[in-house]
Amino acid sequence: MLNFKQDFIRFAVQQKVLCFGEFQTKAGRLSPYFFNAGLFDDGASLRNLSQFYAQAILASGLSFDMLFGPAYKGIPLAAGTAIALVEQGRNVPYCYNRKEAKDHGEGGTMVGAKPQGRVLIVDDVISAGTSVRESVDLICAVGAEPCGVVIALDRMERGQGALSAVQEVRRNYAIPVVSIATLDDLLAYLQGEAGMMQNLHAAQLYRDKYGVKNE
């Protein structure tokens, strides 16, 4: 496991973004862990989070020309990741969308750099894939090419069918999905942490019941 993946899990636990217990998911399942990226809510945590995004993107080797942050959570993520990439020697433009079109000033739904070339979508997680579908439609509508999605955590969990939301995005749009960490990385972290055996056991049982196979 790449070091930044385990470092990210540890960071998320320390920030209480990743919590353990019993949490009901949108699908009605009782999950032994909960990940809320909205709790990266100050300057220091957003800076660190953005650096993890940049590391995951660069480690993936994915070719891209600019970043797109879907409203609303994706907006600070795309901006922060653009800054973190500069610190790694890569300066790329970024843009984001409005939920409602602006009818004055510059107008339209897109803000920032003009979408062009290969556009990488930056978001927190993929649940139902709705945000990805909307982002792909917006990017294609202006003649640019969606080239992938980068997210913080891949839960590796089945949706209504046999595939996870991430796998459905890969299949439906033929684009890669890069994650900073996955459920497998979380399990590896728990295995190495004293006092986490109960959480490890619960997460393993959940993985066995609802998880998808590695691709």
Residue 62 has, within 13 A of its CA and on its CB side, a CA count of 25
Can you name the residues that pair with 179 across neighbouring β-strands? 151
CB-neighbour burial class of residue 149 (10 A; exposed 0-12, middle 13-18, buried 19+): buried
| Element containing residue 137 per DSSP (H, E) | helix 130-141
Bond from prior residue into 53 cis (ω within 30 degrees of 0):
no
Q: Which of 99, 177, 110 is nearest to 139 (CA)?
A: 110
Asked if residues 152 and 179 have their Cβ atoms less than 8 Å apart, the reply is yes
Q: CA 120 to CA 96: how far, in whole Å?
A: 11
Q: CA 191 to CA 200: how far, in whole Å?
A: 7
Q: Which residues are catalytic?
A: 102, 104
Dihedral sign of CA atoms 96, 100, 105, 106 in order = positive
Q: How many residues does the chain have?
A: 215
Q: CA 116 to CA 69: how far, in whole Å?
A: 14
